[in-house]
Amino acid sequence: MKRSEYMRSAYEAYNEGRVNEEVYDCMVMNANIFCDDDEDDYGLPSTYAEIEYPDMDSAEAIDGARFDDMNFLRYTER
């Protein structure tokens, strides 16, 4: 499965209430396990949110990382 498809399905599952926040966070953090390595490189690092938010224990950092992930997903859909 491509990373963009995986992230889209994870986001849809979270928005539809099929998974909770904790499961969504685990899905995003473990995306490399479920995604193919041969997907095109879009010029953005796969872990760019972790660089900006080194302390992922705070609610603000988690929300910011989610926002960044959605921006990345929208960027890759173009």
Determine the structural domain holding residue 33 and report its residue range. Answer: 3-77
Burial class (CB in 10 A: 0-12, 13-18, 19+), 10: buried
Is the confidence at residue 69, as pLDDT, over 70? yes
DSSP codes joined into one string, 2-19 = -HHHHHHHHHHHHHTTSS
Q: What is the pLDDT of residue 70?
A: 81
Q: Which residue has the higher pLDDT, 44 or 6?
A: 6
Q: What is the pLDDT of residue 53?
A: 62
d(CA 48, CA 29): 12
Q: Could you tell me the two tokens for 48? A: 């760019």
Computed from CA positions of residues 59, 44, 37, 15, in that sequence, does the dihedral angle turn out positive or negative?
A: positive
Give how many domains the chain has, as a whole number: 1
10-61: per-residue pLDDT in tens? 999 999 999 999 999 999 888 888 887 655 555 555 555 455 666 767 777 7
Q: Which residue has the higher pLDDT, 76 or 3?
A: 3
